[in-house]
Structure 1
């Protein structure tokens, strides 16, 4: 109230019977302020408790489904696959497993004129993107950060992941918390990416040794055993399919541009290099 008086502002609260220009009503203002603050905090605690309970039950607490899913029109707490966006998610994982880095994938998607998630959501009139003003020149401008978020999303395995962030008591902003504090409920909705592929992608992102499964979901017996005879670099496996069958397997290494003699051998040649 003192601030109102100093700035010659008349504050009137009809429900509480307060008038900043009436000294008789100002005596109760501090008590009303205390009660109002207590009430707001009490409501906040109840809302948080409700969200915690919902999240613990395996229901998503996010306001919007991630790119690749939409909310079920008949059940807002259940996600169903958005076929168009899901195909893009599958493409991103496939390209990454084939050895392309995130910058190369971003260039590929831009060349194919595939909308970024934000522009796609705006086109679908969904989420916060629908009310945002976007620069149309960026509609195909995929970037490494966006692709990293997609590649790391465990929800694409069919899981619900809640409470990845929490509000810090100092700055009141949301901060990411350690994974062991997440609330994860497995196999809730239809997966877009199989779990083995997802786990291999996480190993690649962490620069850990990777054993890629072949077309039948099994670990290839030569995974992790092939090295380039010229540079000693571990070779990457790629299984080529045709008509649903394995046509051939390629082992290769990525060499710097100044070393153009990149080895790219089919399986028989690679086997000879092992011996």
Structure 2
């Protein structure tokens, strides 16, 4: 029973922390940044291994986080030079991923070192990788890592909510009133990098990338207010985690896969039935208007 609780809690924390930041990525049209980071961190992993001589978690995470931030900086630099955002992301992550592959082939041929063995985890194993201090079991490491990152993001967004909001909707206005747009951009990119890297090891890249996009996209369809969108993204992520785990238990399938499918299902519901943007909702409103106009003419 406790193992189920830890798995669901970890999934909910990952979904909440990723969805929370994903709202700002969607508003900035950078939804695929998480996927870019998941490939671009390979050189950081290799360099961390070469410097530390160990595959332990901390140096790997530090190396990956640094190159995740490097990826974000390069993407933004290319965007400022006129390159389209999707092209900038594609060029950056393919180039950095290729550099990582070359480093692996040159320096770590005799070592089992790749993304799968270092950062692409499995959420089902979370309850058994615990953190102990003085013989006291404090629970899974993943809960502490992802929970700490989520708390950090929550505090920073709360403290600088106005600045992040204006920078996301109108960067030109933000610069005009004296807000350091670049500083808050890179602060957001840093939070995204740390969140994705901290989550990869525990739950796997597919779940992280999905939760960085899908709950936020679902919330985007349900409201036009940013503060409500942030809250809805956390709710949608948590529902995806709980519902996905229940489905996985019923059909004996991948937990991360079922959580992702549940998130996609909630998105489809919002896409069809959203009060303002839903396809079926708009069709029903148009139908009612036509019927009313027909009745008035008769």
Q: Same fold (TM over 0.5)?
A: no
Which one has a larger percent helix, Structure 1 or Structure 2?
2
Which one has a larger percent strand, Structure 1 or Structure 2?
1
Could you say which structure has the greater relative contact order, defined with CA pairs below 8 angstroms and 6 or more residues apart? 2
Larger radius of gyration: 1
